[in-house]
């Protein structure tokens, strides 16, 4: 059986993946990148899939959900984390569960692109769709990111190569590619201009650009960058984690710089989101959850927001007495010294794959893979909603079904 | 985060982490490349620094921060800036990273200052057990 599916490995949500499925397994995968192909193949590998367990002992989904429900029901300060690799429907169920539990809810955006997305929602940063990037943008800036490794088809499928007009020999895209990077990468090797900054010094370059735009800078690279922007029709800045971490999450100088450059040309900012539906979570919590916040929310009394409700602070202060992690792997992505604070706190994990987090959890519920085994919708990194048709059937329940089941148990 | 121009002693270096697709494949899902775990426990360094610190290409070094200790293999790379080392982001380097809100808003996941010590000469072969904790334990055992 041949199908065209959407890859849910990263925030690109490539929708041109052709697969051949035999006996509910991928026999052929075409158009996917290395990450996407490995992800799809892994879905067929039973060894890689998470099994339901309680206290390390394998069990069925019913028993695992039952134990998870009991732990959540008796928790006084529960924390819900993740949901960035879930469909919009599952995110809505997760937010509703957190509300019912009067829990704190947060996702990975609180220590990556959340501040960018919030400013886009609040119109502090301009943005555009990836279709606009393809059709109109003539200056693409990758800042603190190497899509070759993080989003391997971003250049080829979404931003740089798929253009209507080409220049010179007929195959070079009619857009200027600029990298602002700390090191040489595969992406800098094909860029028209590379602006090298020392690790952590992005703020100095931003200051230089603002000064240059005001005519008070003598910094050569900042002046050259402003000149490139000045000559462009649409300049799109793809924000990578390198920039966010260099600014330590304080984006105001970047916002000021973009506002200044908007005096010369049309500017747009798109966060290079890693998890396929992180932006969907931000939207779900901000708008659909009616909190007005993209992350770090406590439902203990209404909907409060603050740094103390971030996953990082919750762990540092060992505030929660039960943690529910959905489709996220903080044991791999966060400092081990911080994650060790979870010792003694019950952890429930819903995930399709075996990860360091499932290995550390007290209760594991193996779930179906969103968008591959479960139909749904997601929000791409540029804010466009994408439908995810299922490729094959699942042996495990969807995370939405598990969250709805938990919600019912909590309410009863 | 301290300024990049901060003075360092001869045995310290600033590690910058970056996404590595092969490490990512091996860690999260199926891995089409057999030894992809090596990239997670490899530090790419400037040959200038390695010469100054008397580190041979391929030698194992111990990286130490207040948060933890990690043994990794070195790889000379002329594209690296002196004073900086480069490692794949993930659970291996997260042995060294930490979160201290008094110092910074975010954890030091991207840039971490480490003290280094040479622990072994270049190895011709290394057996690495799959799994992030396996990488560390196996290479540690070899260094001892």
**pLDDT per residue over A212-265, tens digit each?**
999 887 789 999 999 999 999 999 999 999 999 999 999 999 999 999 999 999
The C-alpha atoms of residue A308 and residue A92 are separated, in whole angstroms, by 23
Tell me the two tokens of residue A195: 């602006």
Tell me the two tokens of residue A300: 């203990």
pTM of the model: 0.91
- Name residues 168-187 of chain A within 8 A of B (Cβ): 182-185
Asked whether residue A165 carries a pLDDT value surpassing 80, the answer given is no
Put simply, whether A252 touches B (Cβ < 8 Å) is no
- DSSP β-ladder status, A385-388 and B60-64: unpaired
Block residue for tokens 């069925």? A60
Query: Which residue, among B16, B69, B96, has the nearest Cα to A185 in the 3D structure?
Result: B16
Contact A338, B95 (CB under 8 A): no
In A214-342, which ranges are continuous DSSP H helix?
Answer: 220-231, 241-246, 252-261, 278-283, 311-316, 330-333, 336-339
Contact B30 A41 (CB under 8 A): yes
Put simply, whether B124 touches A (Cβ < 8 Å) is no
pLDDT value of residue B118: 86
The CA angle A266-A269-A273, to the nearest 5 degrees, is 160
Report how far apart, in Å, the C-alpha atoms of A229 and of each of A96, A131, A178, A225, B93 are: 44, 20, 11, 6, 37
A91's enclosing H/E stretch is: helix A88-101
Contact B8, B43 (CB under 8 A): no
DSSP at A286: I
Beta bridge partners of A386: A378
Beta bridge partners of A143: A180, A239
Cα Rg of chain B (Å, integer) = 15
Q: What is the 3-state secondary structure (H, E, C) of A80-138?
A: EEECCCCCHHHHHHHHHHHHHHCCEEECHHHHCCHHHHHHHHCCCCCCCCHHHHHHCCC
Contact B105 A198 (CB under 8 A): no
What's the pLDDT tens digit per position in A26-44?
999 999 999 999 999 999 9
Closest Cβ–Cβ partner in A39, A148, A356 for B29: A39
- For an interface test with A, the pick among B99, B104, B137 (most A C-beta atoms closer than 10 Å) comes out as B99
Put simply, whether A3 touches B (Cβ < 8 Å) is no
Query: Which residue, among A392, A341, A328, A395, has the nearest Cα to A366 in the 3D structure?
Result: A395
ipTM of the prediction: 0.91
The C-alpha atoms of residue A373 and residue B131 are separated, in whole angstroms, by 26
pLDDT value of residue B133: 39
The C-alpha atoms of residue A205 and residue A116 are separated, in whole angstroms, by 19
Tell me the two tokens of residue B51: 């010469």
pLDDT value of residue A169: 60
Tell me the two tokens of residue A403: 């969250």
Contact A248 B107 (CB under 8 A): no
Contact A34 B105 (CB under 8 A): no
Search chain B and give the residue with CA nearest A113: B106
What's the pLDDT tens digit per position in A356-411?
999 999 999 999 999 999 999 999 999 999 999 999 999 999 999 999 999 999 99
Put simply, whether B91 touches A (Cβ < 8 Å) is yes
The C-alpha atoms of residue A36 and residue A16 are separated, in whole angstroms, by 12
Q: How many CB pairs under 8 A join A and B?
A: 132
Q: Which residues of B touch A48 (CB under 8 A)?
A: 29-30
Put simply, whether A38 touches B (Cβ < 8 Å) is yes
pLDDT value of residue B41: 84
Asked whether residue B124 carries a pLDDT value surpassing 80, the answer given is no
């Amino acid at each position: 059986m041949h199908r065209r599916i959407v890859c849910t490995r990263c925030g690109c949500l490539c929708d041109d993946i052709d697969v051949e499925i035999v006996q509910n397994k991928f026999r052929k995968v075409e158009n996917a990148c290395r990450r996407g192909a490995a992800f799809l193949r892994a879905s067929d590998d039973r060894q890689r899939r998470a099994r339901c367990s309680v206290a390390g002992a394998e069990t069925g989904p019913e028993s695992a959900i039952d134990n998870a429900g009991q732990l959540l029901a008796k928790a006084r300060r529960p924390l819900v984390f993740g949901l960035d690799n879930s469909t919009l429907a599952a995110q809505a169920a997760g937010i509703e569960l957190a509300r019912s539990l009067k829990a704190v809810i947060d996702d990975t955006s609180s220590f990556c692109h959340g501040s960018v997305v919030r400013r886009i929602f609040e119109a502090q940063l301009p943005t555009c769709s990836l279709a606009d990037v393809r059709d109109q943008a003539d200056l693409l800036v990758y800042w603190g990111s190497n899509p070759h490794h993080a989003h391997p088809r971003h250049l080829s499928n979404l931003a740089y190569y798929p253009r209507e007009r080409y220049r010179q020999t007929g195959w070079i895209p009619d857009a200027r590619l600029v990298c602002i990077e700390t090191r040489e990468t595969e992406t800098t090797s094909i860029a028209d201009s590379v602006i090298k900054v020392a690790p952590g010094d992005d703020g100095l370059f931003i200051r230089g650009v603002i000064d240059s735009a005001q005519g008070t800078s003598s910094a050569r690279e900042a002046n050259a960058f402003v000149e490139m922007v000045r000559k462009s029709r649409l300049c799109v800045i793809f924000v990578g984690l390198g920039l966010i971490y260099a600014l330590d999450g304080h984006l105001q100088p970047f916002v000021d710089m973009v506002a200044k450059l908007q005096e010369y040309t049309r500017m747009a900012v798109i966060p290079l989101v890693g998890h396929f539906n992180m932006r969907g979570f931000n939207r779900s919590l901000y708008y659909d959850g009616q909190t007005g916040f993209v992350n770090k929310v406590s439902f203990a009394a209404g909907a409060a927001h603050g740094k103390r409700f971030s996953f990082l602070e919750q762990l540092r202060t060992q505030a929660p007495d039960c943690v529910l992690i959905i489709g996220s792997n903080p044991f791999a992505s966060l400092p081990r010294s911080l994650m060790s604070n979870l010792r003694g706190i019950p952890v429930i994990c819903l995930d399709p794959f075996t990860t360091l987090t499932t290995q550390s959890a007290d209760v594991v519920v193996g779930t179906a893979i969103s968008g591959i085994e479960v139909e749904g919708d997601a929000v791409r990194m540029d804010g466009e909603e994408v439908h995810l048709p299922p490729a094959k059937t699942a042996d495990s329940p969807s995370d939405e079904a598990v969250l709805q089941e938990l919600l019912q148990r909590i309410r009863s | 985060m301290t300024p990049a121009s901060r003075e360092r002693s001869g045995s310290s270096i600033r590690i910058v982490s970056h996404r590595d697709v092969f490490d990512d494949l091996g860690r999260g899902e199926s891995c089409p490349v057999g030894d992809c775990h090596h990239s997670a426990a490899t530090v790419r360094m400037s040959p200038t620094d390695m010469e100054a610190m008397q580190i041979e290409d391929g030698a194992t070094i111990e990286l130490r921060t207040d948060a933890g200790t990690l043994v990794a293999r070195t790889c000379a790379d002329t594209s690296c800036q002196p004073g900086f080392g480069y490692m794949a982001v993930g659970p291996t380097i997260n042995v060294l990273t930490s979160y201290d809100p008094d110092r910074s808003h975010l954890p030091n996941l991207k840039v971490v200052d480490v003290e280094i010590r040479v622990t072994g000469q270049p190895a011709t072969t290394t057996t690495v057990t799959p799994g992030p904790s396996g990488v560390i334990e196996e290479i540690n055992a070899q260094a001892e």
